[in-house]
Amino acid sequence: MSEPRLTYRERARDGRARTGELTTRRGVVRTPAFMPVGTQGTVKGLLPGEVAALGADMILANTYHLALRPGAEVVAGLGGLHRFMGWEGPILTDSGGFQVFSLAALRKVDEEGVSFRSHLDGSLLRLTPEEAVRAQEHLGSDVMMMLDECPPAGAGRDYLERSLSRDARWAQRALAARSPQGGALMGIVQGGVHADLRRRSVELLTDLDMDGYALGGLSVGEAKEAMMETIAATVPLLPADRPVYLMGVGEPADLVACVGLGVDMFDCVLPTRMARNGTLLTARGRLNLRNARFARDPEPVEEGCGCPTCQTYSRAYLRHLFMARELLAYRLNTVHNLYYILNLMAGLRRAIREGRYQAFARQVMSGLAGDQGEEAA
Amino acid sequence: MSEPRLTYRERARDGRARTGELTTRRGVVRTPAFMPVGTQGTVKGLLPGEVAALGADMILANTYHLALRPGAEVVAGLGGLHRFMGWEGPILTDSGGFQVFSLAALRKVDEEGVSFRSHLDGSLLRLTPEEAVRAQEHLGSDVMMMLDECPPAGAGRDYLERSLSRDARWAQRALAARSPQGGALMGIVQGGVHADLRRRSVELLTDLDMDGYALGGLSVGEAKEAMMETIAATVPLLPADRPVYLMGVGEPADLVACVGLGVDMFDCVLPTRMARNGTLLTARGRLNLRNARFARDPEPVEEGCGCPTCQTYSRAYLRHLFMARELLAYRLNTVHNLYYILNLMAGLRRAIREGRYQAFARQVMSGLAGDQGEEAA
């Protein structure tokens, strides 16, 4: 047996919520963890040191985008993604599959893999489980994701069942393709909102003893209740000594709820994208800088917030920058929103350690419920 | 006599080049100085602390832009521009005149002032010498500029003569309009490329004993040689105990040459705008990130450059960010270009102190002449 590439150590548990440490080859990640998204090798507008200072231990990078531009081999030739972008901590990469299934035109899946056209130049490309691992290894990923199919919306049971079975074969191929120096490799549990299919997917993947398990195919349009029920039913089926990663979820209320269901890792573009759209996250809900009432408002975005933006700048200044389309708007807003989310995760970890997850969750939820009545971006 | 609002103290002279200190009510500016431009209350993409760390002692803000959005009174109500944008050092503001004469539609000048339409919403506005001072005082400017006319391109001698005479009356009105707590007020010498008209303008303005003198109406399309001759002829006419400011000049070679003619202060959007266009300044000329040869180039923009961008990032990464239109591209490029210019100014100050301005200038010029053959942005 080789050295494990990823180890999860639980430090405390409170109901189904748990807190612990995920050890990667590039350092420790405190869980539950939120990974800021650095799609193209940058968390938009921020320097790596700033992202770390806001409380992020690990970031996510998108293999699809980087493989198309500048190219995974190009990044490899420049010493890998860590060196390329100047981030020294752990990086989780997705397989590229999600983008192929959502962004790319003319995708076609078969047993071998998926064919698609680049959203950049329309060129015909092919992604296989082996190629996804190869690209992620070129990037120097610490935690890789297997290639899976993202089934089309409204796919029926039969489709989902065939798909998740093929996913399991792809998982096996991904494991076989991984080089001895490769990073950890996580499986992705599919099965839509069908508890029995999720169970089947878990069985197939856990048989392969992967480094961790993600819940895929959620937060893609299904009802929130169905999503939560699926998570609640699936997490207990997974081995307790492996991290559980819920892909693409980042609404504050969802983070709190899903941590309560035992999820350890999250990523989402929500805080960073909203920031660029002028929407700021606060304990009392969202604040939209387009609102004219902030034009002369000398207060910080959030009273008592410890982020660098709130330390120095007024709502009036942030609104001015945003209305004037100034670059600094996106940067200062991103700093605040990432801080908000990362600080929320720190609060959850603390609450779990202190056995008061329920009280903390109630408090966050009731603040968010007293929403400031702002529109989402 | 009240306390002087601006004092210039010469520390060393080498030929006509000089180095010294400009003391404002918000601190000392080492001259020759380059002021980064923060048009809308932000040096695009950077935080004030970063601009200062790159070596800037003073920045410029544009009254026209800030008066239209968010409004000079709004900024005043929020504690002034320094507090609004978080810059604690001195701020020089222009009068708004240049933008009225270049950006605004339907401008019309008369003895009283200038009427124009906002470039933002087309509303009809009026700018007078008094209003320009009032707006700059609302912003909390440390060094204000008088309102002057920017004569239309190709204006003849007669037009220029009438215009500069009116400018002198406007200067007097500006001085009269300034409040006791107001910042320094600089006059603007006009007269096109006519040495005798420049002399006349200097006489009229120096009679008013202003806090400093700017050279206006240059770098607006006239031949480079005519510009240099005009500067060479005009600077010696100005009082040696007042700072000389050349507005809107920022080409590295021009900065070096104009410092040699005795200019103390400069501002220009060139380094910041070029940065956002993917063009980087180096001692060997410009480097255009669009050039495909940088795609796999692991070298920094400039070998030995002390800027934070060159400390961490490769040309390949900067090119990637720029081609992917990432926010961080504009930021990292701006850091490099501002550092380049501010470091050039520091080099000029040192060379003058050490009596080797000529040798330094020759060295810079010969480096720039061996241009890397890149296109301008």
Of the candidates A40, A74, A321, the beta carbon closest to that of B326 is on A40
Q: What is the pLDDT of residues A34-71, one digit of tens each?
A: 999 999 999 999 999 999 999 999 999 999 999 999 99
How far is A87 from chain B, CA to nearest CA, in Å?
10
Residue B316 maps to a domain: yes
Sequence-separated (6 or more) residues with CB below 8 Å from residue A240: A10
Q: In what order do the strands lie in the sheet with B59-61?
A: B33-35, B265-267, B244-246, B212-215, B184-189, B143-145, B91-93, B59-61
Task: Between A84 and A101, name the one with better pLDDT.
Answer: A84
Q: What is the pLDDT of residues B137-182, one digit of tens each?
A: 999 999 999 999 999 888 999 999 999 999 999 999 999 999 999 9
Of the candidates A65, A298, A330, the beta carbon closest to that of B78 is on A298
CA gyration radius for chain B?
20
Q: What is the pLDDT of residues A296-311, one digit of tens each?
A: 999 999 999 999 999 9
**Residue B1 pLDDT:** 45
Kindly state whether B86 is in contact with chain A, defined as any CB-CB distance less than 8 angstroms: yes
Concatenated DSSP letters of A216-284: -S-SSSS-HHHHHHHHHHHGGGS-TTS-EEETT---HHHHHHHHTTT--EEE-SHHHHHHHTTEEEETT
Interface test with A, best of B50, B62, B311, B326 (most A CBs within 10 A): B326
Cβ–Cβ of A327/B44 closer than 8 Å?
Answer: yes
**Residue A185 pLDDT:** 98
Burial class (CB in 10 A: 0-12, 13-18, 19+), B277: middle
Q: Is the same domain home to B238 and B148?
A: yes
Cβ–Cβ of A86/B313 closer than 8 Å?
Answer: yes
Alpha carbons B47 and B59: distance in angstroms, whole number: 12
Rounded to an integer, the average pLDDT of B19-40 is: 98
Q: Where are the alpha helices (DSSP H) in B33-96?
A: 48-53, 63-68, 72-77, 81-85
Domain edge (last residue) among B247, B267, B287: B267
Cβ–Cβ of B40/A314 closer than 8 Å?
Answer: no
Residue whose C-alpha is closest to residue B301's, from B288, B312, B315, B311: B315
Instruction: Give me the percent of chain A exceeding a pLDDT of 70.
Output: 96
Q: Is the same domain home to B191 and B332?
A: no
Alpha carbons A368 and A359: distance in angstroms, whole number: 14
Rounded to an integer, the average pLDDT of B68-89 is: 98
**Residue B186 pLDDT:** 98
Q: What are phi and psi of B146, to 5 degrees?
A: -70, 155
**What is the longest distance spanned by two Cα atoms in chain B?**
64
Q: Which CATH number fits the domain that encloses residue A109? A: 3.20.20.105
Kindly state whether B120 is in contact with chain A, defined as any CB-CB distance less than 8 angstroms: no
Q: Which residue of A has its CA nearest to B319?
A: A70
Of the candidates B40, B323, B328, the beta carbon closest to that of A326 is on B40
Q: How far is CA A289 from CA A276, A281, A310, A375, B73, in A?
A: 11, 11, 14, 10, 20
Which residues in B lie closer than 8 A to residue A78 (C-beta atoms)? 296, 298, 314, 316-317
Token pair of B151, please? Answer: 């004569």
Q: Is the same domain home to B308 and B243?
A: no
Q: Is the same domain home to B320 and B252?
A: no
CA gyration radius for chain A?
20
Kindly state whether B206 is in contact with chain A, defined as any CB-CB distance less than 8 angstroms: no
Structurally, chain B folds into a number of domains equal to 2
**Residue B154 pLDDT:** 85
Alpha carbons B308 and B287: distance in angstroms, whole number: 17
Cβ–Cβ of B295/A326 closer than 8 Å?
Answer: no
Residue B188 maps to a domain: yes
Cβ–Cβ of A316/B42 closer than 8 Å?
Answer: no
Cβ–Cβ of B317/A45 closer than 8 Å?
Answer: no
Q: Which residue of B has its CA nearest to A120?
A: B324
Helix A327-353 / helix B327-353 crossing angle, nearest 10 deg: 110
Token pair of A325, please? Answer: 């389309």
Q: Is the same domain home to A304 and A169?
A: no
Q: Which residue of B has its CA nearest to A86?
A: B312
Kindly state whether A37 is in contact with chain B, defined as any CB-CB distance less than 8 angstroms: no
Q: What are phi and psi of B33, to 5 degrees?
A: -120, 140
Kindly state whether A120 is in contact with chain B, defined as any CB-CB distance less than 8 angstroms: no
Which residues in B lie closer than 8 A to residue A79 (C-beta atoms)? 298
Tally Cβ neighbours within 10 Å of residue A279. 22
Alpha carbons B208 and B26: distance in angstroms, whole number: 24
Whether the predicted pLDDT of A377 surpasses 80: no
Which residues in A lie closer than 8 A to residue B317 (C-beta atoms)? 41, 78, 84-86
Q: Is the same domain home to A355 and A216?
A: no
Give the domain extent around B150.
7-267
Which residues in A lie closer than 8 A to residue B292 (C-beta atoms)? none
A376 pLDDT tier (thresholds 50, 70, 90)? very low
**Residue A372 pLDDT:** 55
Of the candidates A47, A69, A298, the beta carbon closest to that of B323 is on A69
Interface test with A, best of B289, B315, B327, B334 (most A CBs within 10 A): B327
Min mean pLDDT across A367-371, B5-9, B21-25, B294-298 is at A367-371
Q: Is the same domain home to A119 and A62?
A: yes
Q: Which residue of A has its CA nearest to B49?
A: A312
Interface test with B, best of A297, A328, A330 (most B CBs within 10 A): A328
Contact B370, B284 (CB under 8 A): yes
Q: What is the pLDDT of residues A309-332, one digit of tens each?
A: 999 999 999 999 999 999 999 999
Residue whose C-alpha is closest to residue A213's, from A194, A231, A193, A195: A231
Q: Is the same domain home to A153 and A15?
A: yes
How far is B39 from chain A, CA to nearest CA, in Å?
10
Q: Which amino acid belongs to residue A5?
A: R
Sequence-separated (6 or more) residues with CB below 8 Å from residue B39: B61, B62, B65, B269
B42 pLDDT tier (thresholds 50, 70, 90)? very high
Residue B31 maps to a domain: yes
Would you call B42 helix, strand, or coil by DSSP? coil
Helix B327-353 / helix B252-260 crossing angle, nearest 10 deg: 20
Domain edge (last residue) among A267, A290, A313: A267
Whether the predicted pLDDT of A181 surpasses 60: yes
**Residue B2 pLDDT:** 58
Q: Is the same domain home to A34 and A125?
A: yes
Q: What is the pLDDT of residues B98-148, one digit of tens each?
A: 998 887 766 899 999 999 988 888 888 899 999 999 999 999 999 999 999
Residue B374 maps to a domain: no
Q: What is the pLDDT of residues B320-332, one digit of tens each?
A: 999 999 999 999 9
Domain edge (last residue) among A267, A293, A323: A267
Kindly state whether B59 is in contact with chain A, defined as any CB-CB distance less than 8 angstroms: no
Report the alpha-carbon angle A143-A46-A348, nearest 5.
60
Q: Is the same domain home to A325 and A281?
A: yes
The residue from B94, B148, B167, B254 that is catalytic is B94
Q: Is the same domain home to A262 and A279?
A: no
Q: Where are the alpha helices (DSSP H) in chain A?
A: 48-53, 63-68, 72-77, 81-85, 97-102, 129-139, 157-177, 195-206, 224-234, 252-259, 270-276, 308-312, 315-323, 327-353, 357-369
ipTM: 0.96
Instruction: Give me the percent of chain B exceeding a pLDDT of 70.
Output: 96
Cβ–Cβ of B78/A42 closer than 8 Å?
Answer: no
Q: What is the DSSP letter of A26?
A: T
Residue A2 maps to a domain: no
Of the candidates A314, A319, A327, the beta carbon closest to that of B330 is on A327
Cβ–Cβ of B296/A46 closer than 8 Å?
Answer: no
Alpha carbons B197 and B162: distance in angstroms, whole number: 10
Cβ–Cβ of A47/B317 closer than 8 Å?
Answer: no
Kindly state whether B47 is in contact with chain A, defined as any CB-CB distance less than 8 angstroms: yes
Residue B376 maps to a domain: no
Whether the predicted pLDDT of A199 surpasses 70: yes
Rounded to an integer, the average pLDDT of B195-205 is: 98
Q: Which residue of B has its CA nearest to A75?
A: B296
Kindly state whether B300 is in contact with chain A, defined as any CB-CB distance less than 8 angstroms: no
Q: Is the same domain home to A122 and A192?
A: yes
Report the first-to-last Cα separation within chain B, whole angstroms: 49
Residue A373 maps to a domain: no
How far is B194 from chain A, CA to nearest CA, in Å?
39
Cβ–Cβ of B42/A328 closer than 8 Å?
Answer: yes
Alpha carbons A57 and A19: distance in angstroms, whole number: 14
Kindly state whether A49 is in contact with chain B, defined as any CB-CB distance less than 8 angstroms: no
Instruction: Give me the percent of chain A exceeding a pLDDT of 90.
Output: 89
Which of A38-47, A107-116, B365-374 is predicted most confidently? Answer: A38-47
Residue B257 maps to a domain: yes
